[in-house]
Structure 1
Amino acid sequence: MGWIGPGIAAEPVPYTQSEIQTIATLREKAFIASQSGDYEEAERFWTQLLEYLPNEAAIWSNRGLVRVSQYHLDDAISDYTQAIALAPEEVDPYLNRGAAYEVKGDWDAAIADYNRVLALDPDEAGALNNRGNAEAGLGDWEAAIADYQKAADVDPNFALARVNYGLALYEVGDSSKAIQVLRSVVRKYPNFADARAALTAGLWATEKRGEAESQWVAVSGLDKRYQDMDWVRTIRRWPPSLADDLEQFLTLGG
C-alpha cells in the first residue's frame, strides 16, 4: 500500500484561482499529515479535498488508507469501493481494499480483490504475496506457498515474500527447506528481524540450540515485538507451528 498522487480523475472542472490554491494547500497538508502518522487530521484534509474533487479516485483511496490506519475498516472499504468505481483499471484500490478485508479476516473477499489485481497485472508481487496471506488465513498452505514463491521470484528484493515462503514451507512440514530459505534471507538482509526470529524458532525446534540463541540475540536488538506471542500470532500472523516453536523457545530458552 502507498499514497497515490493525483492523476486518476474524471474530466477537470473549472475552479477559481483561489480554489486552485486551496486545493493545492489541502493536498499538501493531507500528504504531510498522512506521512507523519497524524491520521485523524489527514482524514479531515482528504475529506475536504473530496468536496472539491469528488471524482478523483486517488483521494478516495488515500482517505481509505488513513481510515485503515485508524482501524475504521468498513469506512475504508467504502472509500476503496468508490475509488474502484471511478478508476476500475487501477490496481491500487483493489490491493488496498484486499488488505482491509484481510485485517477483517474476510479471506475470500481479499482473494477476490487480489485476483482482480492479478488479472490487470499478473506479475504484481504485492498482490501475489497478499493473496498468499489470505490463502494462509484459509489454511490453504500449498496455494500460499505457490504465491509466495512467485512473488519472491518476480521481485527478488521482496524479502518479506521470501520469508513468508519459508514460513509456509515450515507449516507443511518441510522444515529443512524452510530453514534454508530463512538463512538465505538473513544473509542478504541481516537486520530483518522477522527472518531472524523465524530462524530462531526453526533452529530451536531442530535441536540447533546454540545457533537459535545466537539468532535471538540479534532479534532482541532489532525488534522487541517478537517477545509478544499475541502480536506474533494475531498481528504478524505467523503459521501456528512456527509460532508454537517460538513460544517454546521463549519459555525454555529465551
Structure 2
Amino acid sequence: MGAYKAPIPHFLSSPNPNAKTLRTPFLNLGTTSRRFLLFFLSSPILPSSNSLALDNAKLLQSNIMDVLASSFDPVSQAEKDASSLISRRVSEAVELLERGKELQAQGDFPKALHFFTLVVENYKDFAFSDYARVGRALALYEVGDKEEAFAEMEDVSISLKGYPEVHAALAAVLYADKHAPLLAENQFAIATLLDPHFTDLSYVIETKHWPPSLVSSLQHFITLS
C-alpha cells in the first residue's frame, strides 16, 4: 500500500481536475462556497510524504483565514443604521437639555421651559429625560403653573427616587402651597440625607439655579414661616 497523500483542496472547487490543477493547488476563492471554507478550516491536515502539497495546503489555510478575518463583520447594516440613529437622537436630546440648563442659569425660565419640554416630549424613551422633567417642573413653578409643577415633581420623584433636588423641591411646595408640613418634612429629610447643601439657600440659588418663587417657598419651609 502506497504512502497516504494529503488531499489537494483545489479539487473541491474544480469540477474537472486535471494536470494543471495538480500542479497549482490553490483555491479559487471566487467560486468556492462558504460551506467548503468552513469544512476546510475545520478539517485536520494529515501528515504526508508529499512535503510540497503539505506546504501548499498550510499556505492555503493561512490565506483563507486572512481573507475571512478581513471580510468578517458581525454587525449587519440594519444594526449599524439603528445604532447611528440612536446616537444622533442622544446627541440632540443632550443638546436640548444643556440649552435648557443654560437658560435656567440665566434666569430665563419661560425659554428654559420650552427646551425642557422638548426633551420630555420627544425623547422620553431615554432615562436622562427625567432630569429634563425636574428642570421643567422648576420652570413651571416659576411661570405660575404650580399645579402642573407639583404633579411633575411628584411623578418624577418616583422615577428618580433618591435624587435630592426633586425631594427638596417637593418639600418646599408641600409646605408653602399644599400646607402639608409633615409630608414636607419627610421629603426634606430624604433630600438633606443625600445632600446636606439643600439647607443652604445660597446653594439652590447659585449652584442649582432655582427660580425665585421656589427659593421663597423653600425659605418659608426652612424658617417655618
Deviation at 1:139, TM superposition (A): 3.7
Partners of 2:180 and 2:114 in 1: how far apart? 28
- In proportion to residue count, which structure has more helix? 1
Q: Which amino acid aligns with 2:169?
A: A
Q: Deviations over 1:110-159 (max 9, x none)?
A: xxxxxxxxxx9796222212211222344432221110011233144122
Equivalent residue, structure 2, for 1:157: 127
What SS is found at the alignment partner of 1:124? helix
Q: Report the more deviating stretch, 158-167 or 205-214.
A: 205-214
What SS does the corresponding residue of 2:210 show, helix, strand or coil?
Answer: coil
Moved more, 175-184 or 207-216: 207-216
In the alignment, the residues of structure 1 paired with residue 104 and residue 168 of structure 2 have an alpha-carbon distance, to the nearest angstrom, of 19
Structure 1 runs not aligned, ≥5 long: 1-119
| Residues 109, 142 of structure 2: 8 Å contact kept | yes
Structure 2: gaps of 5 or more residues: 1-87
Q: CA RMSD in A?
A: 2.0
Question: Quick one: structure 1 residues 121 and 192, their matched pair in 2 at CA, closer, same or farther if it must change by over 3 Å?
Answer: closer
CA deviation digits over 1:30-89, x for unaligned, max 9? xxxxxxxxxxxxxxxxxxxxxxxxxxxxxxxxxxxxxxxxxxxxxxxxxxxxxxxxxxxx
Aligned position for 1:194: 165
Query: Is 2:198 the partner of 1:226?
Result: yes
Structure of higher RCO (CA pairs closer than 8 Å, 6+ residues apart): 2
Partner SS for 1:152: helix
Structure-2 residue corresponding to 1:35: none
What whole-Å deviation, never above 9, does each CA across 1:193-251 have from its counterpart, x for those lacking one? 11111111111111122211111121122111101111110011111111111121111
The aligned runs of 1:35-184 (5 Å cut-off) are 124-153=92-121, 154-155=123-124, 156-158=126-128, 159-184=130-155
The Cα offsets for residues 142-179 of structure 1, whole Å up to 9 and x where unpaired, read as 22111001123314412221100000000011111001
Amino acid at match of 1:239: P
Q: Retained in 1: the 8 A contact 2:142–2:211?
A: yes
Distance in 1 separating the partners of 2:91 and 2:118: 8
Q: Does the CA contact (< 8 Å) of 2:109 and 2:211 recur in 1?
A: no
Contact 2:154 2:170 in 1 (8 A): yes
* Pair 186,122 (structure 1): closer, same or farther in 2 beyond 3 Å: closer
TM-score by length of 1: 0.49
Provide the rounded CA distance (Å) in 2 between the counterparts of 1:123 and 1:247. Answer: 37
CA contact (8 A) 2:171 2:187 kept: yes
Taking structure 2 as the reference length, the TM-score comes to: 0.55
Q: Which residue of 1 aligns with 2:209?
A: 237
- Give the one of 176, 196, 213 matched to 2:185: 213
Instruction: Report the number of matched residues.
Output: 134
Aligned partners of 1:125 and 1:152 also within 8 Å: no
- Report the residue type matching 1:136 in the other structure: Q
CA distance in 2, matches of 1:137, 1:228: 18
Indicate the percent of aligned positions where both proteins have the same amino acid.
Answer: 33
Alpha-carbon contact 2:137-2:149 (below 8 Å) kept: yes
Larger radius of gyration: 2
| 1-structure distance, mates of 2:205, 2:106 | 15
**1:135, 1:220 → 2: CA distance?**
26
